[in-house]
Structure formats: C-alpha cells, structure tokens
Amino acid sequence: MQLTNPTKRTPDFRKGVAVAEQRLEKLLDIAKQIRVNILKSTTEAGSGHPSSSLSATEVVTALYFGGFLRYDAKNPHWPDRDRFVLSKGHAAPVLYAAMAEAGFFPREELMTLRKLGSPLEGHPNMAKLGGVEASTGSLGQGLSIGVGQALGARVDKKDYRVYVMTGDGELGEGQVWEAAASAAKYNLDNLTCIVDRNHFQQTGAAEEVLNMDPIDGKFAAFGWHTITINGNDMGEVVQALERGRAHKGQPVCIVSLTHKGQGILPLLEKLGDMNYHGKPLPPKYLDEALALVK
Amino acid sequence: MAGASSALESKRPMGKATRDAFGRALEALGADHPDIVVVDADVSNSTRTEWFGKKHPDRFFNIGIAESNLVGIAGGLASCGKTPVIASFACFIMCNGYDQLRMAVAYPGLNVKVVGTHAGISIGEDGASQMGIEDVSLACSLPGFVVIVPADEASAKAATKAMIDHKGPVYLRLGRPDVPKIYEDEKSFQIGKANEVRKGKDVTIVANGLMVASALDAADILAGEGIDARVIDMHTVKPIDRDALAKAAKETGALVVAEEHLAHGGLGSVVAMTVAELTPVPIRYVNVGDRFGESGTPEGLLEKFGLTAENVAKAVREVVKAKKR
C-alpha cells in the first residue's frame, strides 16, 4: 500500500541515529503483542476502535519500551515521570495494551475493557486508572493539557517530557491550533506532539472530510520543529523520537504517516472497509486477524 | 428614596468591586502558596490577575485570546500538582471553555480554580455579548464543582482564600462595578454555609452577589410596612446550604430568591429544588428572566431588568399574600 500524503517525508531521515537491530527486534516483538491485546480486548468488549489503535501501535510501543517514556508502573503518580497524553482517546485500546505490557496492571485485565466497573473505560479516564495522564475522548483537547504539563515542568524546574498523540481528523478542532501557538510562544522543547496521520476519520478519508494538509507545514508555521515519518516503521519511529528529544528551543511535531488498521490490512480489504472505524472485529474473524499480526 | 433603586445606588457604604478584592487577595496569597499558577487569556487587567502576574511573573502565563486552550492548560498544570487559577469574563470562560471544563477539569476532578468576572448585566455599556448571565447554571452542571457568588469586597476576598484552600474544582463568580459593603471583615465566610445577614420572621429573601445589598434595602422598605424580612446571603450555590433553607422555610413560611442571573439554572432553581424537597413553601423570583441584556448604564440596566430593592420588595409582598392563602 502506498502512503498517500502530500506532506513530504523529512529528507535525509536515515542519516539519523542508527537503531540497533536488537533493540528494533525487541520493539517489534512487543508491538506484535500489543496488536494481539488490541484485537482480543476489543472483540471481547464487542465495541471500540481497533483500527484507530492499530495505526498508532509502533509509536506507542516505542514510547513505552524504546527508552523514551520514564515511568514507574508500580508508582504511576511518580512526580518526575514523563507524560503521555492520548488526545485521540478512542484509541484507548493501544494505550491499555501498552500499559498492560509495561506492568501497570495484569494483561488479563484487558479483557474487562468497556465493562461495568472496569478502570479500562471506553475512553481513557485518569481518575480511575493510574498511568493515564489525561481524560480524553472529546477530540482536540489533549495538546492543551500537554502544554499545561510542559509548563508545569518548567515552573517546577523538572526535566520530565510530555508526549501528546493526536489524530489527523482531530486537527479540525480549533483548540489544537490555540495549543500549538501557545506551545511555540513558550518554546516548549519538552513537548512533542505526534500526529497519527492514519488518513481516515469517522465518515471517510481525512483529506476529503476536511483537508488539513500540509500538516507539517501548518505546525512549522506555528513555530514548531517538524519531522515526518512512516509511523508504521519502527526504525523511523525510534529515530524520530530520538531526534525530537534532542531538538532544543522549540516544541516538536512528528507527523506519523500510518495506516488505519495496520497489521490486519488484508482482512480489512477482504471485509471491504479500509477505514473500519469504531467497530471491533467479530469473533469469527479474530483468529485470522491474530495470525496476521503475529 | 433609600433602596428604591439598584444596589449600585444603595445608601449603604460602598466597597470595591468583587473582582478587585479577588485580585488583591490572589496577589497576597501567591507569596505563601508557591503552588498557585495563574493563566490568563489576555484580560488580566480586567480580571485583576495582573496584580498576581506582576508580583509572580514566573508563575503567570498569558496564553492569548483562547479560552478553550486556557482551560486545557489549567487541567494539565493541575495534573502536575499545581493550583492553577484561570480568570476571564464569566461568559467567555464558561461558554467558550465549557467542554474543556467538563473534560479537563470536572471529569478528572482536578484542582482548578475558575474565575468569571464581569458577571451579570451590571457591566453596563459593553452589552449582552460580554454579560455572563448563564454562568452559574453552567458551573452547577459540572459534577464536583463548588460554585461561589460573593456579595461584596470582604466576602470576595475571603472566598478567594477559601477557594485556594479547597481541594477540587471551584467556580468563583465576580462582578465589574463597585458594590456596597455587606460585611465588616472576612471572618464570616465559609464555603457551603449561608450567612443570615438580617434577622426576620415573616419571609426570607435569599440572595447572592450584588442582590444581597438590594435584599437588605428591600427589607428596610418592608420594615416600614410591617413586614419583617429575613435576608440570607447564599454565597455558595453548590453545595447549597440545605439547613439554612429548611430553617428559613419552616420559620418564615415564604421565600424570595434574588440573583443577577437567568431564571433558569441559577440560585432560584437550586433553592426551589431544595425547598420543594425539604419544606415546600411559596417562592417568588427576582432575576434577569429568559432574555439577554443590552447596552446601557449599569444602574439603568438593573432598573430595566427589575433587579432593584423595590422589585424585591414587590415580590415579597406577593409571596407573603400567597403564604396567607
């Protein structure tokens, strides 16, 4: 499949820090397990957004297991931790899947997703689940929260970093751009926004619903440093996060070009729905999907 | 005659505007509360947070004219253990920032202090677009929020301190003009505990904001007619003081609720709901009604919209008659 996006990939990208093969292999293994977790938990729940979660899997895996997020799963409110705000809250299954692998709670608990009394609500709820850094689900709000957290680090003279992941359709919300402008005003180089550019939103192709291209150009115009990558390529993801972390004086936006449903694309093709928005795989397709991601 | 018109023309000694009292109190609190961070959406010289900003520039951020972002940033700061105070005009912070107040503050129950200045129609000439007349209703609809409407300078100062000391989200509603003094000092303010500012046995006027002064003026008018009116300053709309309302309803048998807010969802609604449950008695209401404000002098607007001592007295006469039937 071709990545269809007029946003140009950052040139000379491969000249970045080389990613050790071993580290990549480990991350790819974890990503497989996270995809398994996403598929199983949403099918068990009978609802949810697996395709929106699958597109973001490489980035979330790299953040939690590639040495980017500092956290203590046994002490999730550790004040010096790094923050990851999942602004596209409907992709909660990828967050929960990663948190389970990171030891915030047992993997079995993923099967309580969306069930009454479970802290794994349909959209992330920070009041119920330690390690969730913002309650999200009303799109467009996470970047502002991330700006607040990045300012909090500055006020407290702490060195923690804040990562925010938005969707591409989510960029239609004006608040994202209010937040982008304010992050640039304060030169928040402890803030990274990752746009999961999976090309689809609820009713169709993102650029047809509301064309926000060029995404990197818009963030750059607001005063951000931008990096554009194939966000389903673990090596590119790791390198981009490293380059973003090293960049000083500006907030960093990583435009992560991805496929919605990455990992089970042949199945979605068979089902005739490459968007597959907001629905779990029926149980009869689960084995086929699990075989694809393994 | 004394008390026939609005609170702004009352013969009571005038004090400063509640926004001024808040601004000075916040500036002073900053010294002992290193956790306070103030975020502004470019109205700090109106909301008076500029006084804090000048004294504590490292804890003051003007993020531009962007109330949605303002609220979201406050949520992020609170999640890091800060005590963010955000202030704008009541209508802008509540109406423009509402989804953010719901998602980034109320839902996670974060310790954000939301201050709406320029509430009500008494801002005057700027007109309806700048008048927060629905803010109390909106704030009360945010689960877990405490909602405070102080009546004067001393209580606004005390409310500011109480708001910072309270752990959890608070909405503080403030006005633009100077208003009469109700209290000599700040000692009598406690969140959730109404103040009986005048004793009386025939009827109770429940008021907040600048309508407390009008309620007291109305009570003076009524005293001349042989009606002994109790006046309660219900500065906290949520949680409402149920005991004070039950006692007033039981002992005086009739209520008038006076506020500078829409009829729907404000103090009147909360009082009616509470009294209907505890001790049903006749109630009448003095408020902005179901309409927008307009341009004019603050005094002229309060007169036109019936937010006067005379109109409160009229409502009292009606409810006392209803009580006797």
pLDDT digits (tens, 9 = 90+) for A236-291: 999 999 999 999 999 999 999 999 999 999 999 999 999 999 999 999 999 999 99
- With 60 as the cut, is the pLDDT of residue A12 above it? no
Tokens at A147, concatenated: 């700006």
- Calpha distance A176→B144 (Å, rounded): 27
Inter-chain CB proximity A152 and B103 less than 8 Å: no
What does the pLDDT average to over B134-157? 98
pLDDT at B325 > cutoff 80: no
Residue of B nearest to A174 (CA): B68
pLDDT at A2: 47
Query: Hey, what are A153's tokens?
Result: 């680090």
Q: Is the pLDDT of residue A108 over 60?
A: yes
Q: Please, which pLDDT band fits residue A19 given cuts at 50, 70 and 90? A: low
Interval B171-184 mean pLDDT = 98
Angstroms from A210 CA to nearest CA on chain B? 21
Q: Pinpoint the alpha helices (H) of B7-129.
A: 18-32, 44-47, 50-55, 67-79, 90-91, 98-100
Indicate the angle between helix axes A92-102 and A21-45, nearest 10 degrees.
120
Residue A102 has pLDDT above 80, yes or no: yes
pLDDT at A9: 57
pLDDT value of position B2:
43
Task: Work out the average pLDDT over B64-90.
Answer: 98
Long-range contacts of A269-278 (CB under 8 A, 24+ apart): A274/A200, A275/A51, A275/A200, A275/A204, A276/A50, A276/A51, A277/A49, A277/A51, A277/A52, A277/A200, A277/A201, A277/A202, A278/A47, A278/A48, A278/A49, A278/A52, A278/A90, A278/A202
Helices then strands, counting H and E runs in chain A, come out as: 11, 7
Residue A30 has pLDDT above 70, yes or no: yes
Single-letter amino acid code for the residue at A238: V
What's the pLDDT tens digit per position in A205-241?
A: 999 999 999 999 999 999 999 999 999 999 999 999 9
Has residue B203 got a pLDDT over 80? Answer: yes
pLDDT for residue B324 is more than 70: no
Cα angle for residues A189, A190, A195 (degrees, 5° grid): 85
pLDDT at position A150 over 90: yes
For residue A197, the distance in angstroms to the closest alpha carbon of chain B comes to 22
Q: What's the pLDDT tens digit per position in B294-318?
A: 999 999 999 999 999 999 999 999 9
Residue A257 is predicted with a pLDDT of 98
Beta bridge partners of B238: B147
Q: What are the DSSP calls for A42-80, one per residue? A: HHHHT-S-HHHHHTTHHHHHHHHHTT-----TTSTT-TT
Q: What is the pLDDT of residue A7?
A: 54
- pLDDT classification of B32: cutoffs 50, 70, 90: very high
Alpha carbon distance B11, A260 (integer Å): 69
Distances (CA, A) of B240 to A116, B13, B234, B278, B308: 31, 28, 8, 13, 24
pLDDT given for residue A20 in this prediction: 76
Per-residue pLDDT for A10 more than 60?
no
What is the C-alpha separation between B298 and B300, in angstroms, rounded?
A: 5
> Can you give the pLDDT at residue A25?
95
Residue with tokens 């496929």: A259
B303 is catalytic: no
Q: What pLDDT is recorded for position A22?
A: 86
Give the nearest partner residue to A182 out of B63, B71, B84, using CB atoms. B63
Asked if the model's pLDDT at residue B133 lies above 70, the reply is: yes
Q: Taking all residues of chain A, what is their mean pLDDT, rounded to a whole number?
A: 94
CA dist., res. B153 & res. B282, Å (int):
32
- Nearest-5° angle of CA B88, CA B89, CA B93? 65
pLDDT in tens, B234-260: 999 999 999 999 999 999 999 999 999
- Determine the pLDDT at residue B187: 87
In this predicted structure, what is the pLDDT of residue A21? 82
| B108 prior amide bond cis, ω within 30 | no
Would you tell me how many other CB atoms lie within 10 Å of the CB of residue B321?
A: 11
CB–CB of B79 and A149 under 8 A?
A: yes
Q: What is the mean pLDDT of residues B124-132?
A: 97
- Intra-chain end-to-end CA distance of chain A, in Å: 19
What token pair was written down for B256? Answer: 């008038």
Distance CA A5, CA B266 (A): 51
Q: Which of A78, A145, A155, A185 should be substituted to probe chain B, the one whose Cβ sees the most B Cβ atoms within 10 Å?
A: A145
Output the pLDDT for position B10.
95
Q: Is the pLDDT of residue B149 over 60?
A: yes
What is the least distance, in Å, from the CA of A289 to any CA of chain B? 34
Query: Which residue in B50, B67, B186, B260 is the catalytic one?
Result: B67
Q: What is the pLDDT of residue A275?
A: 96
pLDDT greater than 70 at residue A5? no
- Distance, in Å, from the CA atom of A229 to the CA atom of B88, rounded to the nearest integer, reads 40
pTM value surpassing 0.90: yes
CB spacing of A185 vs B64 below 8 angstroms = yes
